[in-house]
Structure 1
Amino acid sequence: MSKISGCFVAIVTPFDENENLNEQALRRQVERQVSCGNGVFCAGTNGEFYTLSFAEKVRVAEICVEQAAGRVPVLAHIGEISTHQTIALGKEIQKLGVAAVSAITPSFIACSQDELIAHYRRVADALDVRLYLYNIPARTGNTLQPETVRTLASHPSIIGIKDSEGTQASIDGFLTIARERDDFDVLVGPDSLVLHGLKNGAQGSISGLGNIAPQTLNRIWTSFSKGDLADAEAAQERYSALRKELYAHGFPPSMVKRALRLAMPEVGASRGPALVSDAANDAILPISKAYAEAVG
């Protein structure tokens, strides 16, 4: 099968005033990303997967695949605390036509590297869809070490890793593994390191800030792909500035959702207990006005 590459947006999950899934608003968010040339990553961190029920996660993926209609690839997150539930969700999601799935390391349970290897092998063995590892230790408490990833990369269904550890050193470690083989790729998670990853062999990125600035994210990818490094650098500089300004005010997914809501009210608020203080809201308003794109 062909490699998955390009820029993906970890799309928000819109809610109505009663915190129920707003399906039509979600379809419009998918359409917005398609119009900018971005792939869709659904029910990830910025999609508030941690607040969604099993059925909602399946429905979100179903809507995203339907609305994308093959114009851009759709990736779906399936990570749960237990191996059993990760497999159960993956079996439902794979029926929908997603290009691949990803799974964070289990949270709450402190796992050894051997346990992580066993977990991912069981998930990959049980599913027919391609699988990305997903490293985000600040949220899960479990870190995928490079040697663990090197071991897992030999599984035929494990095709890469989304690294959201947050540092250049972490991404570089996984890029070393990707350069050792042609069947394992890296997707960059940190918004400030998209271009760094591309320069060093990453196949693409999955970004939360693309909800606010989808055109700037796509510009990093397209300019780099065309060999226009100066323009890619300029787009990355703008993207990094947005990250610095916005994330200074609180929990990044909530800040992204709030900034987008100021430009597109129908996406709604984050589900509780996430709150945005009045001070943060006042600070986010000019950021949203300065950076929000493709909202018309």
Structure 2
Amino acid sequence: MSLPTAKDVKGVLPVVLMPYTDSRELHEDDFRRQADHMFQAGCDGFVVGQVSEVLRLTHTERLRVAELCAKSADGRGVSVMSTGAETAEAAVEYSRHAQDVGVDALLVMHPATIGLGEDEMVGYYSRVIESVDIPVIVHHAKSLAKQPLTIGAQARLLETYGEERVMFKPEAQPTPPRVSQLRDATGGRARVFEGDGGMMLLDCHGRGLTGTIPATEIAEIVVTLWRLLEAGDRANAERLGHPLSYLMCHMMNSTDYYLSIAKRFLKERGLITTTYVRGPSRHVLDDESWTEVNRTYQHLLTLAKELAR
């Protein structure tokens, strides 16, 4: 069997929201249920990413989730596992394990506890990329980065390893101009994913995206939006994209705030058993906020279904 290349990693790849049982353990059936839902919605694969609470998992859980990630794809699309860590040694170990259990590609975040300069960033990512044979998505997480991953560092990685081995998920703000800067700095070779929950997809798509990485709760909404944009139907894309951006404005105040809303959406739809967010988390969703976001969410689900016909 040939190894996956970057060309296999594209389109809509939502992030699994880590499900837990009532006893706070990983809920493997709910993990698979989310994967099934995403493929039924027309997604091209799925991702275990930062909003999957991956940094709050134990070492043993991270290894098990990588196995679940690979098995849940079941040949229906690509599986992408987040393997970044605070040291290159740990990231390499997680990355090799994910490759060994059959994951198709890696999403690798930089260390979050110390700000790295350009050379240090390139060194960290180089060690990970060279340790595996499957593609690596270089992930700059705006909420966790001590300093932005420079365009220069990303261009150097692409020049060294090529577009078959390395891709990018740049989240440094403002996102759309950064996408254009990366595109221009690499002569259009960089394969770039939007990672703001579809918030800036209307703008970023035309700048040369390879795909988008939202999360499970908006999978079918973003699939419809992506297909409208790919078809050049800007008018209907705006009908869906504008309220989606409003929803994301509510949700993206913090990771825990996002999860408190997104997991309630999924529980209401029967896709997960509990809305538990692993601590330390102090956010409690108030009733008025829930009423507002749920009104917008239900509108989006209805509109996406209408526009997908």
- TM-score (normalised: structure 1): 0.89
How far, CA to CA, are the matches of 2:231 and 2:159 in structure 1?
Answer: 32
Cα gap change, 1:2 to 1:145, in 2 (>3 Å): closer
1:177 is aligned to 185
How far, CA to CA, are the matches of 1:277 and 1:2 in structure 2?
Answer: 39
> Structure 2, unaligned stretches of length 5 or more?
303-309
Match of 2:69 among 52, 64, 70: 64
Figure out how many residues of one structure are paired with residues of the other and give that number.
Answer: 289
SS in 2 for 1:106: coil
SS in 2 for 1:9: coil
- The answer to whether structure 1 residue 266 and structure 2 residue 273 are counterparts is yes
2:169 is aligned to 162
2:219 is aligned to 214
Q: Which structure 2 residues correspond to residues 66-105 of structure 1 after superposition, within 5 A?
A: 66-105=71-110
1:122 is aligned to 127
What do the CA deviations read for 1:152-203 (whole angstroms, capped 9, x no partner)?
Answer: 112326421111224222222223235x153x31101113112322211011
What do the CA deviations read for 1:125-145 (whole angstroms, capped 9, x no partner)?
Answer: 111111111111321313210
The answer to which of 54-63 and 240-249 deviates more is: 240-249
Match of 1:283 among 271, 275, 289: 289
* Percent identity over paired residues: 21
SS in 1 for 2:244: helix
How far, CA to CA, are the matches of 1:40 and 1:171 in structure 2?
Answer: 22
Cα gap change, 1:86 to 1:165, in 2 (>3 Å): same
- TM-score (normalised: structure 2): 0.85
Contact conserved, 2:79 with 2:105, CA < 8 A, in 1?
yes
Post-superposition offset of 1:30: 0.5
1:149 is aligned to 154
> Structure 1, unaligned stretches of length 5 or more?
none
Contact conserved, 1:83 with 1:122, CA < 8 A, in 2?
yes
The one-letter amino acid of 1:283's match is S
Cα gap change, 1:278 to 1:91, in 2 (>3 Å): closer
How far, CA to CA, are the matches of 2:68 and 2:273 in structure 1?
Answer: 17
The answer to which of 227-236 and 97-106 deviates more is: 227-236
Contact conserved, 1:10 with 1:207, CA < 8 A, in 2?
yes
The one-letter amino acid of 2:226's match is W
**Aligned-pair RMSD on alpha carbons?**
2.3
2:263 is aligned to 257
Match of 1:107 among 112, 134, 138: 112
- The answer to whether structure 1 residue 186 and structure 2 residue 192 are counterparts is yes
Contact conserved, 1:161 with 1:187, CA < 8 A, in 2?
yes
The one-letter amino acid of 2:183's match is L
How far, CA to CA, are the matches of 1:13 and 1:253 in structure 2?
Answer: 10
SS in 1 for 2:160: coil
How far, CA to CA, are the matches of 2:268 and 2:111 in structure 1?
Answer: 33
Post-superposition offset of 1:286: 4.8
SS in 1 for 2:183: helix
